[in-house]
Amino acid sequence: MPNHGVTPAHYDCVVIGAGHNGLICAAGLAGKGRSVLVLEAAAEVGGAASTREFAPGFRVSAGAHLLHLMPADLLRDLQLESHGLNWAAQRMPTTALLPDAAALALSPGAANRAGLSAADASAYAAYSARMRRFAAALAPVFSRIPPRLGSAAWSDRLALLRIGWQIRKLGRREMRELLRIGAMNVYDLLEESFDSAALKGALGLDAVLGANFGPRSPGTVLTLLYRLAAESAAGDLGLSQPKGGMGALCNALAKAAVAAGAIIRTAAPVAKILVEADRACGVVLESGERIMAPNVISSADPKTTFLKLLGTAHLDTGFARRVNHIRSNGLAAKLHIALNRAPPFQGLSETALRGRLLIAPSLEYIEHAYNHAKYGEFSASPVMEITVPSINDPGLAPAGHHVLSAIVQYAPYALKESWEKGRQRFLDSALDTLERFAPGLRGCIVAAEVLTPADMEQEFRLSGGHWHHGDLGLDQILMLRPVPGAAQYRTPVEGLFLCGAGCHPGGGVMGVAGRNAAQQVLKWGSS
């Protein structure tokens, strides 16, 4: 309900951005009786977790296309299924595509492919059991609010002790192994464990998907464990595909928030966060409308929140510098293809085609693709995570037609030659790569689009176009995320909170940041 009168509207809480984290935070706050207004710049809710019609009649998830990180209890508590969420597919399989060879099917504990040695198959069983054990140990750390270091508060000290205890509980041998591999690169870890290049490539991809790393970058074992810990914390639901795309999930979240009492306004972009007497007190929309609230919670990325919406005048130089230095240039592009038939992937079973497909035939292949990204270039042979969502959910395309959705890496945000010039070549190299695994694909294309990180920045107001609002590197996780001084969802400005993927535990359609932030607002915010 727009209010252009002299007295601005007043709420307990204003949430900036109706992405999944903003909506989950709003639902949590409204559920506790706070009056909550969610302001979304776009015409629809969802942010990067939306469904997009990229060609007439062809719809696809604009960003992430698979759900595997959202905790089961969160889905249950918000009763999303009663708010319209349906599953097109659950527990989807993963298959690595290989040039001139049978594909490699992966599921936890079992890898099947003609030609995989017995040694590799049993090493894989041991490897995935061990990694799941580590992930389960790290999972509780993962879901909670990160503790502050050096704080006198018992809650922080207990949280730190709990981390230590979780690791210690593994037993001496496993603890040593975790402390060793935790800082290693995934390349070395996989080289230690396996012979098959295909298996190593497929397992290595999960460590660098959406990250500014190659398999040889130290710390990539931790990024892999991080992903596995998130899956473990979510209850190991496996990969699922919401019916109607990721947008359907956010629509259900919006319904849940509204049912809890929150108000959502779309097409209402926030221009500024208002500060009075050193505390946040509301927002001004781009239209000039003022909305007052003692608690402002931003699901925008930290750079947008602090540098654009708040302004450095309200921050001390050291903090502003840290925010400036958050590494948030995205490296993942999204490829959407409208097809007049199912994609002709060679030798794939019907089941495999319903799942997640990987193009990462070896660790060297991934590393070479990454090499280019370091210098602002892209590789002619990119790595990809592919789904064909219309097979599980025919409603996404006209009858008999299909959509293919792929995350393509690496696509550096700051492309040296500029995306204007490079876009077509990038699309061509992605299509050529696909053609190698699905001969004849090019002939079935009705329409295709690429969303580069630069496009995502524009489209979703995401600085750097980074899916996770900032790299998930060792120096940007836990109490260092997004920056020290704002890692517990609170900020140096009283009344201003963060709830987006820029906070612990980071991005992916997970919602933990939104849920934790709501807890902090209830604890520390003014009512």
Partner 1 sequence: MRSAQHWDAIIVGAGHNGLVAACYLARAGLKVLVLERQPYIGGAAVSRRLYKDFTYSNCSYVCSLLRPEIMRTLELPKHGLQIIPYEGGCTMMQGGGHLALYDNHDALRREIARHSKRDAEAYDRYSRDVMRQCKFIKPLLMREPPDPTSFKPRDLQEMLYLGKRFHGLGEARMYDTLRFWTMSAADFLDEYFESEIVKAHFAGSSIIGTALGPRSPGTAYVLLHHYMGDIDDTVGAWGFARGGMGAVSNALGASFAASGGTIRSAAPVAQIQVKHGRASAVVLEDGEQITARLVISNLDVRRTFLKIMDANDLPDEFLRQVKNFKIRGSSGKLNIALDGLPRFPAIPEGSPSTRGDMHVTDTIEMMERAYDDWKDGRWSRAPYIDMLIPSQIDPTMVPDGKHYMSVFVQYCPYRLAEGEWTAAKRQAFGDTVINTIARHSPNFKELILHAEIRTPWDIENEVGLTEGNIFQGELTMDQLLFNRPLPGYAQYRGPVKGMYMCGSSTHPGGGVMGAPGANAARAVLRDLKLAH
> Between 129 and 153, whose beta carbon lies closer to partner 1?
153
Pairing between β-strand 356-359 and β-strand 445-451 as defined by DSSP bridges: unpaired
> Between 51 and 379, whose beta carbon lies closer to partner 1?
379
Rounded to a whole number of angstroms, the minimum distance from the CB of residue 163 to partner 1 is 13
One of 182, 261, 269, 398 touching partner 1 (CB under 8 A): 182
List of residues 6+ apart from 416 with CB closer than 8 A: 375, 376, 377
CA distance 168 to 165: 5
Would you give the distance in Å from CA 362 to the centre of its chain?
Answer: 24
CA distances from 261 to 9, 23, 30, 387 (A): 16, 12, 5, 36
Question: What is the pattern of x (binds partner 1, CB under 8 A) and - over residues 209-238?
Answer: ----x--xxxx-------------------
Angle at the Cα of 478 from the Cα atoms of 472 and 484, rounded to 5 degrees: 100
> Between 237 and 307, whose beta carbon lies closer to partner 1?
307
> Between 125 and 184, whose beta carbon lies closer to partner 1?
184
- Confirm or reject binding of residue 360 to partner 1 (CB under 8 A): no
CA distance 108 to 111: 8
> Between 100 and 475, whose beta carbon lies closer to partner 1?
475
- Confirm or reject binding of residue 72 to partner 1 (CB under 8 A): no
Question: What is the pattern of x (binds partner 1, CB under 8 A) and - over residues 454-483?
Answer: -------------------xxx---xx---
Residues numbered 99 to 158 that lie near partner 1 (CB under 8 A) are: 148-151
Axis crossing angle, helix 154-168 with helix 172-181, rounded to the nearest 10: 110
How many amino acids of this chain bind partner 1 (CB under 8 A)?
36
- Confirm or reject binding of residue 375 to partner 1 (CB under 8 A): yes
- Confirm or reject binding of residue 312 to partner 1 (CB under 8 A): no
Contact 509, 69 (CB under 8 A): yes
CA distance 457 to 142: 27
Give the binding range for partner 1 (CB under 8 A) out of 286-294, 367-375, 407-415, 515-523.
367-375
- Confirm or reject binding of residue 93 to partner 1 (CB under 8 A): no
Sheet holding 332-339, edge to edge: 110-112, 104-107, 94-96, 356-359, 383-387, 402-409, 332-339, 445-451
One of 325, 341, 421, 425 touching partner 1 (CB under 8 A): 325
3-state secondary structure 31-78: HCCCCEEEECCCCCCECCCCEEEEECCEEEECCCCCECCCCHHHHHHC
Interface positions with partner 1 (CB under 8 A):
148-151, 168, 172-173, 175-177, 179-184, 188, 192, 213, 216-219, 321, 325, 327, 367, 371, 374-375, 473-475, 479-480, 484
